Copies of this chain bind each other. A is one copy, B any other.
Amino acid sequence: MMAKLPGLGPRSARRAVLHLIRKRELQLTPLADLMVQVAATARECLNCGNIGTTDICDICNNPKRANGLLCVVEDVADLWAMERAAVFKGRYHVLGGTLSALDQIGPEQLRIPRLVDRVETEEITEVILALNATIDGQTTAHYIADQLEDRTRLTSLAQGVPVGGELDYLDDGTISAALSARKAL
């Protein structure tokens, strides 16, 4: 079972299992208890798709974050990444993946209708498309942009050189994006 976790091969899984069995009292039992508890309480926020313990998550419930900004992300992991950066003070909408004809994932599977709903019913002044800069992410961003056009202001994260980035290690695409989006000092 452990070997089925992402990022864990058969060998690391065996090591983890042995470690847990040796630390039965200190780690195995508490971890098992925690897992039972999470299995019983974790649920997706009915509004945005974030994971929490209540029907409406803490971010959606926070009145300070109702500032009209809505940040669309692919996954809860991306929401956490944005929260770690601690610069975004609005609310989120988690799609739960990207559009993919191959995997038969259409808008209905992705909480996109709910997004259109929210833009129409909540007072949203700007939707920030913070999808990954991958092909799937950008395809999905284009689809959403089509759906929301004329309903709200749409923006996307800037593309360019990452902080700490050295030109010599960057791919051609990033260099040309950074060059064409260059800014006056």
Contact = CB atoms under 8 A, between A and B. Distances in A.
A110 interface: no
Nearest to A159: B160
A4 interface: no
Q: Is the interface of A mostly helix, strand, loop or mixed?
A: mixed
Interface string A142-185: 00010000000111111111111111101111111111111111
* Copy total for this chain: 2
- Which of A77, A157, A181 neighbours the largest number of chain B CB atoms within 10 Å of its CB? A157
A86 interface: yes
Contact of A161 (B88, B160, B171, B184): B160
A181 B75 CA distance: 22
A139 interface: no
Interface residues of A, number: 54
Contacts of A81: 167-168, 170, 175
B133 A184 contact: no
Contact of A156 (B145, B170, B183): B183
Given A160-B160, A164-B134, A184-B153, A175 B128 contact: no
Interface of A: 73-75, 77-78, 80-82, 84-88, 128-130, 132-134, 137, 141, 145, 153-168, 170-185
